[in-house]
Amino acid sequence: MDIIVNVLGIVAEYNPFHNGHVYHLQRAKKLAHADVTIAVMSGNWVQRGEPALLDKWQRTRLALLGGADLVIELPFQFAVQPAHLFAQGAVRLLSILGCTHLAFGAEHPEMDFETLVANQPTNASSHFKQFNETYPTLFNDYLQAQTGMNLRASNDILGFSYVAANDQLEKPLAVLPIERLGSSHQETQIDGDSTIASGAAIRGAVQSSDWSAVSKLVPAETLATLRKNQLVTWDDFWPYLRYQLLSTSLTDLHQVYQMSEGIEYRLKQAALTSKDFADFLKSAKTKRFTYARLQRLCVYILMQVNRVELPSEARYIRVLGFNGVGQQHLNQVKKQATLPLISRVTDDWIDGPYRLDYQAGMVRQMLTGVDQDRLQHAIII
């Protein structure tokens, strides 16, 4: 058996897997001299509080075909969270699986992320009590005043969070920022001549059935998977979310995870008057709440997640898929791993540590009819 020395870790959503991800994987593997590449991937809900277009099994298969050797699930307790908690959960899992390198895309890979991390406020809540801006804006203004560096681009912010989380490890990974190609993370327009575009732009093209544009931006397997499977967006969940908001008392809404500053009153009123999810978000938006924060709140409301239900530490590693190289690595690390590795879930897991992830999958399964956990086994390529 070959000895694996360089283990590359990547935090991903692959929503959907596109040409930019192919470039990122190839570049990261080359820089890390990777013997094996592990992707820790969000499940059926992603960090900005949106349902993934394709389910986690479809996206796992595309990731393996695209260059990953092993895909594990980022538990719901981390996947639908602000950047710092998202990063902490993901980086910790990669560390447990023996990763030696951590690669991430960034708009400005030359940025001195370590200096930014060193200058972050020790108690952010005491610095940002103004109610005229969102927390991310106030946080970035503080860092820019301290360092002169502008941390406003989406992937730079995530990169900062990865470096901060990595610095907390007992044995930090070697960090590999990789320049993001093409449009910015949230750019919704597609350059007609480009073969790389943002995930947001590609999702927009998919939802408008502009398949000629999509075909230039994603691998053939992604295109085929998008075209033959039911895709899911917030519009599909809007009736269920609206029901939850209108039928739940303000007292109970106040107990939902991350509910604060009386936003439950505004959410309830917006649900009463809005015709669709986009209209609801616009009505609920305030200067203090970003759209991502509102969407995450909506996920917690939909799933009835209260303030005590999200543990701060991971309790398992769910294996979604692997190839031969990934399987070899699993065999090497499973005895040393400090968390149980599971490739299928039993009733004991569903009723215990895996319950929130099961709920997150079940809510999707209600729409598509495709089993997400109880009957699923790890995908082998």
List binding-site positions for ATP. Answer: 11-24, 105, 155, 180
Among 286, 308, 298, 269, CA closest to 135 = 286
At residue 154, the 3 state secondary structure works out as helix
CA dist 291 and 242 (Å) reads 17
CA dist 82 and 293 (Å) reads 8
- Cα–Cα separations (whole angstroms), residue 344 to 158, 337, 350: 30, 17, 10
Classify residue 138 by its DSSP letter.
H
CA dist 106 and 348 (Å) reads 40
- Report which secondary-structure segment, H or E, holds 90: helix 83-96
Sign of CA dihedral 277, 283, 284, 285: positive
CA dist 93 and 327 (Å) reads 17
What is the residue type of 189?
Answer: Q
Within 8 A by CB and 6+ apart from 56, the residues are 41, 42, 43, 44, 73, 320, 361, 372
Annotated binding-site ranges = 11-24, 105, 155, 180
CA dist 15 and 41 (Å) reads 10
Token look-up 């080359």 returns 30
Render the burial of 55-86: b for 16+ CB within 10 Å, e for the rest. Answer: bbbbbbbbbbbbbbbbbbbbbbbbbbbbbbbb
Strand segments, DSSP code E, in 213-265 are none
CA dist 44 and 213 (Å) reads 25
Describe the crossing of helices 291-303 and 234-247 by its angle, rounded to 10 degrees. Answer: 70
- Cα–Cα separations (whole angstroms), residue 378 to 70, 292, 315, 321: 10, 30, 19, 5
Q: Give CA 129 to chain center in angstroms.
A: 28
